Chain A
């Protein structure tokens, strides 16, 4: 199969053995961790900067403008220039703030991001931590970011920040349920929580096609709830500019503000890549039944490209939400979750369980 030339397992094995020949096991582990660390920081920065750029371009596209177009070809260096500008901005220690918690909040938000990014399968063998409870771990850790948001809002000692943080807390906490239940639907279907097993099970067809109507309903609910969980799109009333200036990060200046901004975009990336992994087959190429020629051509596209393509497709959909829907009120937001998404989700889990039991899926 031409597919196997893109297997990263042998490559990482080769690095591992050649390092082990050169030094003691302890230093091997340390070196490997350092390599992984540098790679992940680079990946984080590149994805974050690219998403900020993409957001502005998509916004411009929807509003029939050009967007950033001065710095470099098509303005791709605009966000790098913005980052440098933010680095040179003064960090203002505001009066009356709870200094310790105020400084702790960005750490929590970013650390949570990295801990989730490490558990996502990027390609065959490119998977830092492969738990047997993968999905559960991702849900558990990613919901920790609400602590960072609440700390940021509360410690700023600013009314806008507090209201923003409270709204954001209620919203993230509510939509957490829908994310969890729609992923449970797919766990029933896959019979495993390990992400590598789930991706491998989609070799013959992605879960959104294999899982009948319940899988599709779960996908739609997951996208809605995921958008709400990242405080984006029509659900961004935690930082509604017209009423709360900037919500929970009103008081943060310079690079600390950039951390929150970056974490928000990476959260969107995480939501999109989980959707791509669980519903759209992760790094698996697109295959159609017995069309051998077509399947072979699809196999030649590297799995990492497949993964990125699906992820950015979901990100593009989420961005279109933001620029095409008006913002919800908080009562509409909570009604949508508790009176529509949650009951539909509970019934959907039962239907999926029944279908799996009867073997009615493809």
Chain B
């Protein structure tokens, strides 16, 4: 099969959601009541905005993720040709993982892996 089938699966998803939403829009009841449109939090009016600065811990993990995810992208092509290239490929990946491991160790020692 060809790669243009990707577009089809994109369209299937979009059509599925769209049609069901339209169907639901037709048959679902509608009643206007200003209280219903309030955010579902505690029952009392919401205090303060939601779109504000957030805990920096998430940011640290996002950066670590970026490092290791790019590494995953690099390792995939290596994994496919590993058998053919042989020992040279193995030694290279050992060196690569050693450097990567040092990075992880550094983050560990810097307490970047501890949630606070």
Q: A residues touching B (Cβ–Cβ < 8 Å)? A: 33, 36-37, 40-41, 44, 87-96, 106-107, 110-115, 117-118, 127-131, 135-136, 139, 154, 156-160, 162, 166, 169-170, 173-174, 176-177, 180-181, 184, 187-188, 191-193, 245, 250-251, 254-256, 259, 330-331, 334-335, 338-339, 342-343, 346, 349-350, 353-354, 356-357
Contact = CB atoms under 8 A, between A and B. Distances in A.
Interface residues of B, number: 67
B40 A245 contact: yes
B102 to A, nearest CB: 12
Contacts of B104: 338, 342-343
A346 B97 contact: yes
B72 A129 contact: no
Interface in B2-31: 3, 5-6, 8-18, 20-21, 23-25, 27-31
Nearest to A37: B12
Given A114-B12, A117-B9, A353-B82, A91 B69 contact: no
B83 interface: yes
Q: Which of A93, A184, A256 has the most CB of B within 10 A?
A: A184
A357 to B, nearest CB: 6
Given A193-B80, A349-B97, A129 B6 contact: yes
Nearest to A158: B39
Given A40-B9, A111-B10, A338-B64, A95 B79 contact: no
B37 A118 contact: no
Nearest to B47: A159
B95 to A, nearest CB: 11
A177 B65 contact: yes
A110 B37 CA distance: 25
A118 to B, nearest CB: 4
A250 B69 contact: no
A362 to B, nearest CB: 16
